[in-house]
């Protein structure tokens, strides 16, 4: 072991892809002598893994950098100096501009080049890397993974070619790229050997995943990949996120009815219920297309928990367009959802549209929409009381003597029980439901060997 252990603090903004990337960076840095700590004050290296999707998220990085500058400058001569790295999508989008705006930053690494961070720290690589070296990244990261906890994320696909007119992702994450089936299956097998019971397959457009089958004899989509992974010993649950309606093919839909370990939960953003707005957003599907997909899925898996993303106040959105979104939500019924005010992103086609919606209208529409979505979410959760659900326990609960896990429908479930339950799946009688979580009792006395 090296005599001088260093400490890294990684702060993650944004989506699950960033959560995964942060875990990978922690691993990589661990390999060169860094232990993870939970505050910037304690750290020799601070990594901000940033998000560029909406203006607020991007601006937060600069306010954090302001705070870090104070900590860095307050370090006495006898203390180790602090180094600062900006990673993620702001790094990709702004590159060298970050160092100009915040000279306190030492390193800038995009989401496809953070594998170079150890060399940068050793002075062996340029301090700015924003190229799209996806293959290099996955090769370098494969085999390096350590895992804590029974549920893990596995990136299977990155990037996006859809170019929705509001979105920066095609610019920050680059073109669609799928990892090979062999590489993914090796990673999942290794995780399962280390006690992982659930994997969530990640991608900006995860259901656009496409690759040749492991025997090289044909093309596979996400449905086939899931069927393949479902056979791995010890793997009890598979999820995937985020999907695009255009890539929801019949094989994947059928998998929801056929594969037990594929959990009954689907995040399928529609963004708007108005065909006119969907067209202006360049979504490539109509509201009818979306409803047809949902009908097909519900025929295969009637209890599926649906989730989505919505944007209110896209340029040109009228009251009638907004009402169409409300009607779509009423018609479809969501178990959970994310909703946002449109945020104008420089460089995207949406930013150039003249007819921007005033902020106060966006605020009002968002409140009305969220009211409906929250009501539906509470209703979905309440509908599960009285049922018995298998829960994968992941961590201690908020209160003494409590453990917390997830239902098949992805809600958190809190029960009284020993922490030795963590890592196991147990039946739970659901007795209570709130907005975000369920409570219940273990269906039978569980004998565990602690």
Q: What are phi and psi of 387, to 5 degrees?
A: -90, 160
Q: CB nearer to ligand 5AD: give 318 or 388.
A: 318
Rounded to whole angstroms, the Cα distance separating 207 from 156 reads 10
Q: CB nearer to ligand 5AD: give 366 or 413.
A: 366
- Binds 160, which of ligand SF4, ligand 5AD, none (CB < 5 to 8 A, cut-off by type)? ligand SF4
Q: CB nearer to ligand SF4: give 264 or 308.
A: 308
Q: CB nearer to ligand SF4: give 308 or 405.
A: 308
CA 103 remoteness from chain centre: 30
**Which residue's structure tokens are 């594969």?**
259
Question: Is 405 within 8 Å of 394 (Cβ atoms)?
Answer: yes
- Binds 262, which of ligand 5AD, ligand SF4, none (CB < 5 to 8 A, cut-off by type)? none
Least Å distance, CB 369 to ligand 5AD, is: 12
CA 196 remoteness from chain centre: 18
Q: Does 312 bind ligand SF4 (CB under 6 A)?
A: no
The piece of 134-142, 159-167, 194-202, 326-334 that touches ligand SF4 (CB under 6 A) is 159-167
Closest CA to 418 of 409, 429, 406, 426: 426
Q: How far is CA 171 from CA 147, 176, 347, in A?
A: 31, 11, 9
Q: Does 160 bind ligand SF4 (CB under 6 A)?
A: yes
265-267, strands of its sheet edge to edge: 265-267, 305-312, 336-341
Q: CB nearer to ligand SF4: give 271 or 381.
A: 271
Least Å distance, CB 249 to ligand SF4, is: 16
Least Å distance, CB 251 to ligand 5AD, is: 24
- Binds 311, which of ligand SF4, ligand 5AD, none (CB < 5 to 8 A, cut-off by type)? ligand 5AD
Rounded to whole angstroms, the Cα distance separating 327 from 156 reads 34
Rounded to whole angstroms, the Cα distance separating 53 from 166 reads 9
- Binds 40, which of ligand 5AD, ligand SF4, none (CB < 5 to 8 A, cut-off by type)? none
Rounded to whole angstroms, the Cα distance separating 254 from 250 reads 6
Q: Which of 29, 89, 105, 169 binds ligand SF4 (CB under 6 A)?
A: 169
- Binds 253, which of ligand SF4, ligand 5AD, none (CB < 5 to 8 A, cut-off by type)? none
Rounded to whole angstroms, the Cα distance separating 351 from 354 reads 8
Q: How far is CA 424 from CA 191, 403, 416, 418, in A?
A: 15, 11, 15, 12
Q: CB nearer to ligand SF4: give 204 or 377.
A: 204
Question: Is 423 within 8 Å of 150 (Cβ atoms)?
Answer: yes
CA-only gyration radius of the chain, Å: 23
Count of residues near ligand SF4 by CB under 6 A: 10
Least Å distance, CB 399 to ligand 5AD, is: 33
Helix and strand numbers (H, E) in the chain are: 14, 21
Question: Is 113 within 8 Å of 159 (Cβ atoms)?
Answer: no
Q: Which of 52, 179, 239, 244 binds ligand SF4 (CB under 6 A)?
A: 244
Instruction: Give the chain's length.
Output: 450
Rounded to whole angstroms, the Cα distance separating 36 from 46 reads 10
Least Å distance, CB 50 to ligand SF4, is: 16
- Binds 205, which of ligand 5AD, ligand SF4, none (CB < 5 to 8 A, cut-off by type)? ligand SF4
Rounded to whole angstroms, the Cα distance separating 373 from 51 reads 25
Q: Please report, as ranges, the residues that interact with ligand 5AD according to CB under 6 A.
A: 53-54, 166-167, 269, 271, 309, 311, 340, 342-343, 345
Q: Which 195-214 positions form the footprint of ligand SF4 (CB under 6 A)?
A: 204-205
Q: Give the residues across from 46 on adjacent strands.
A: 9, 84
Q: Does 167 bind ligand SF4 (CB under 6 A)?
A: yes
- Residue 6: which H helix or E strand, with range? strand 6-12
Least Å distance, CB 305 to ligand SF4, is: 20
- Binds 54, which of ligand SF4, ligand 5AD, none (CB < 5 to 8 A, cut-off by type)? ligand 5AD
Rounded to whole angstroms, the Cα distance separating 436 from 398 reads 14
Token pair for 230: 């479902």
- Binds 244, which of ligand SF4, ligand 5AD, none (CB < 5 to 8 A, cut-off by type)? ligand SF4
Q: Which of 72, 162, 194, 292 binds ligand SF4 (CB under 6 A)?
A: 162
Q: CB nearer to ligand 5AD: give 334 or 393.
A: 334
Q: By Cβ distance, which residue is nearest to ligand 5AD? A: 309
Q: CB nearer to ligand SF4: give 7 or 345.
A: 345
List residues near ligand SF4 by CB under 6 A: 160, 162-164, 167, 169-170, 204-205, 244
């Amino acid at each position: 072991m090296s005599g001088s252990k260093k400490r890294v603090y990684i702060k993650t903004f944004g989506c699950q892809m960033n959560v995964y990337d942060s875990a990978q960076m922690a691993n990589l840095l661990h390999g060169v002598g860094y232990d993870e700590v939970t505050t910037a004050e304690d750290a020799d290296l601070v990594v901000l893994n940033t998000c560029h999707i909406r203006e607020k998220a991007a601006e937060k990085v600069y306010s954090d950098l302001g705070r870090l500058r104070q900590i860095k400058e307050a370090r006495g001569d006898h203390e180790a100096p602090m180094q600062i790295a900006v990673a993620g999508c702001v790094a990709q989008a702004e590159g060298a501009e970050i160092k100009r705006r915040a000279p306190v930053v030492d390193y800038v690494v995009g989401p496809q080049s953070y594998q170079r961070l150890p060399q940068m720290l050793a002075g062996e690589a340029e301090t700015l890397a924003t190229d799209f070296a996806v293959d290099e990244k996955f090769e370098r990261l494969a085999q390096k993974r350590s895992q804590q906890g029974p549920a893990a994320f596995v990136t299977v696909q990155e990037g996006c070619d859809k170019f929705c007119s509001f979105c920066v992702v095609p610019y920050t994450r680059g073109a669609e790229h799928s990892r090979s089936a062999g590489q993914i299956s090796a990673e999942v097998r290794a995780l399962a050997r280390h006690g992982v019971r659930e994997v969530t397959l990640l991608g900006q457009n995860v259901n656009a995943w496409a690759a040749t089958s492991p025997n090289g004899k044909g093309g596979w989509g996400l449905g086939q990949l899931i069927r393949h992974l479902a056979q791995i010993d010890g793997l009890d649950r598979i999820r995937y996120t985020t999907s695009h309606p255009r890539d929801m093919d019949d094989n994947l839909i059928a998998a929801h009815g056929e594969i037990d370990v594929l959990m009954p939960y689907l995040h399928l953003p529609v963004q708007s219920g108005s065909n006119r707005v969907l067209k202006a957003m360049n979504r490539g599907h109509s509201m009818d297309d979306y409803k047809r997909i949902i009908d097909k899925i519900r025929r295969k898996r009637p209890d599926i928990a649906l989730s989505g993303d919505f944007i209110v106040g896209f340029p040109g959105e009228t009251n009638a367009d907004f009402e169409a979104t409300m009607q779509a939500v009423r018609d479809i019924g969501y178990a959970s959802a994310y909703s946002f005010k449109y945020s104008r992103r420089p460089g995207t086609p949406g930013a150039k549209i003249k007819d921007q919606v005033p902020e106060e209208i966006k605020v009002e529409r968002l409140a009305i929409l969220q009211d409906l979505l929250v009501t539906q979410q509470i209703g979905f959760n309440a509908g599960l009381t009285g049922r018995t659900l298998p829960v994968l326990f992941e961590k201690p609960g908020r209160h003494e003597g409590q453990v917390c896990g997830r239902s098949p429908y992805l809600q958190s479930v809190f029960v009284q029980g020993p922490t030795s339950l963590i890592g196991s799946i147990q039946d739970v009688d659901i007795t209570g439901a709130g907005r975000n979580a369920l409570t219940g009792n273990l269906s039978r006395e569980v004998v565990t060997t602690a």
